[in-house]
Amino acid sequence: MIHVIQADLDNPRHRADLIAMLDAYARDPMGGGRPLSEDIKARLVPGLKAHPTAMTFLAYRGDPDTDGRVAGVANCFTGFSTFAAKTLVNIHDLAVAPDARRLGVGRKLLDAVADKARSMGCCAVTLEVRDDNPAACRLYLDYGFNDHGHPHRFWKYKL
């Protein structure tokens, strides 16, 4: 059974599971293929806790309060749609542990994020996905996300 919770970043288990999932994602080719540095691991939770719109969801195989194993993560931030003049939720990271793929973990994470966005009165949930990640693209299309079809590139100015 898959259970999804909104993480409490004051909970030591949630902190450890978040870091473990993001490190596994970073090691995956879709996440860059390199582990998180010890510096990043040390700054991750304090940084998320300090960010006023951060929300983390953790998926577990089994009971998250007892013997469940972390199976997925979704890190989200609220934004604002100027065209709708309403808040939105952006999924910044969505990752599923390799041994939990094709078990519905990604869909359960999307359900939790969408439920939270609805409860906040948001107009949309947004995300970005690599074109060379067909499994994720299928999940998002099957879930009901629309590919806007507008070719664009993600630009970053690194400080």
* Within-domain flag for 155: no
- Confidence (pLDDT) at 159: 83
In a domain, 48, yes or no: yes
Looking up residue 9, the CATH number of its domain turns out to be: 3.40.630.30
Q: Which of 39-48, 70-79, 145-154 is predicted with the least confidence, judged by mean pLDDT?
A: 145-154
Say if 68 falls within a structural domain.
yes
Looking at the domain assignment, is residue 148 inside a domain?
Answer: no
Tell me if residue 76 falls in helix, strand or coil. Answer: strand
Alpha helices in 36-133 (DSSP H): 38-50, 105-119
The domain in which residue 66 lies consists of 2-143
Helix 105-119 to helix 134-143 angle, to the nearest 10 degrees?
50
Assigned domain for 156 exists:
no
Amino acid letter for position 109: L
pLDDT band at 148 (very low <50, low <70, confident <90, very high): confident
Would you say residue 152 lies in a domain? no
| pLDDT beyond 90 at 130 | no
Number of domains in the chain: 1
Q: How confident is the model at residue 31 (pLDDT cuts 50, 70, 90)?
A: confident
Q: Is position 77 within any domain?
A: yes
Q: Is residue 107 part of a domain?
A: yes
